[in-house]
């Protein structure tokens, strides 16, 4: 196909920028003179958004002893940076909610993405990383480039999926062979358009080649391992029919053992069901 990743992205207007609500929230959190009350007012502009965030804060993912009833309270307990990550995850799911395609169901796509996010969050917890919600968001975003491809070039993608299944090959490898780029490249470009942090851009862009990441190899390694786990657990799929192998360099970078892996898989499986309920049901 005679089109580059950049040319494909130039025709992507429906999701070329994040909603203004998230942008306002992002700017307010970064502002030195901003207050919890000010940030809470921004979130309150969207009652459905507020309800979703509070449901997440009050979920079994956090297990706080008392109910969190306001966004300000959630920020004081969870932290503003963590709340921003949850807001980004919620925003992206809502953005793509109406973008149905013929190649994969949106529910299956998000179930896989949420499982990957849960795995990344569990891995980050095992490593005692700061702001573990940023890893959950990485999982939510890791295959976002596939949704762009499925909507922009569906016939081409259908042929790629058929070839990968017929030859029992990994889908991202066939994408690269047929197109000269794959969904990770498209995801990287989309996150650049959204002006998201460089760590997120690089991790998503190299989650199938974490050894290539130059500036944020740890984040890329976490996301790579999380994606393999999510494919193995089969909560859903973004189109991939097989389970990729762990990249040995990525596994070594995380300094985890096989015993860690068993616990990570078990905790991921436990958390995925709860996270799916929080992000995918329509109760707002």
- The one-digit pLDDT tens for each residue of the chain (284 residues) are 568 999 999 878 778 889 888 999 999 999 998 888 899 889 888 888 888 888 988 998 888 888 999 888 888 888 888 889 988 998 999 888 777 788 999 999 999 999 999 999 999 999 999 999 999 999 999 999 999 999 999 999 999 999 999 999 999 999 999 999 999 999 999 999 999 999 999 999 999 999 999 999 999 999 999 999 999 999 999 999 999 999 999 999 999 998 999 999 999 999 999 999 999 876 44
Give 32's DSSP letter: T
Query: Which residues in 151-165 are b (16+ Cβ under 10 Å) and which e?
Result: bbbeebbeebbeebe
Distance of CA 129 to the CA centre of its chain: 17
Q: What is the pLDDT of residue 284?
A: 46
Closest C-alpha to 118, from 236, 9, 269, 281:
269
pTM of the model: 0.94
Distance of CA 81 to the CA centre of its chain: 16
Own/partner long-range contacts of 53-62 (Cβ < 8 Å, ≥24 apart): 53/83, 53/86, 53/87, 53/90, 55/278, 55/283, 56/86, 56/90, 56/278, 56/279, 57/86, 59/274, 59/278, 60/274, 61/271, 61/274, 61/275, 61/278
Crossing angle of helices 106-126 and 133-141, in 10° steps, is 150
Q: What is the DSSP string of 155-219?
A: HHHHHHHHHHHHHT--HHHHHHHHHSS-HHHHHHHHHHHTT--HHHHHHHHTTT-GGG-SS-HHH
Q: What is the pLDDT of residue 76?
A: 82
Q: How far apart are CA 244 and CA 265, in angstroms?
A: 15
Q: Are the C-beta atoms of 103 and 154 separated by less than 8 Å? A: yes
> Range of 146's domain?
5-280
Number of structural domains (the chain) is: 1
State the CATH number of the domain containing residue 98: 1.10.3210.10
């Amino acid at each position: 196909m005679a089109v580059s990743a950049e040319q494909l992205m130039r025709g992507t207007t429906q999701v070329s920028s994040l909603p203004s609500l998230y942008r306002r929230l992002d700017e307010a959190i970064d502002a030195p003179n901003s207050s919890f009350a000010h940030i809470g007012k921004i979130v309150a502009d969207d009652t459905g958004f507020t309800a979703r965030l509070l449901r997440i804060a009050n979920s079994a993912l956090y297990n706080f002893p008392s109910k969190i009833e306001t966004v300000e309270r959630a920020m004081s307990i969870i932290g503003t940076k963590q709340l921003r990550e949850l807001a980004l995850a919620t925003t992206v799911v809502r953005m793509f909610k109406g973008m149905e395609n013929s190649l994969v169901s949106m529910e299956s796509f998000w179930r896989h993405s949420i499982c990957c996010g849960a795995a990344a969050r569990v891995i980050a917890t095992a490593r005692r990383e700061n702001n573990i919600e940023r890893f959950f968001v990485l999982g939510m975003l890791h295959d976002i480039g596939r949704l762009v491809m499925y909507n922009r070039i569906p016939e081409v993608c259908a042929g790629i999926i058929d070839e990968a299944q017929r030859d029992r090959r990994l889908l991202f490898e066939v994408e690269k062979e047929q197109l000269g780029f794959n969904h990770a490249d498209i995801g990287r470009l989309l996150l650049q358009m959204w002006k998201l942090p460089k760590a997120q851009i690089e991790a998503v862009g190299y989650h199938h080649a974490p050894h290539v990441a130059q500036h944020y190899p740890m984040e890329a390694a976490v996301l790579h391992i999380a994606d393999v786990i999510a494919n193995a657990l089969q909560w859903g799929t973004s189109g991939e029919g097989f389970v990729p192998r762990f990249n040995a360099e990525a596994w070594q970078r995380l300094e985890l053992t096989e015993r860690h892996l068993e616990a990570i898989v078990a905790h991921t499986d436990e958390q995925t069901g709860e996270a799916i309920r929080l992000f995918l049901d329509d109760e707002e």
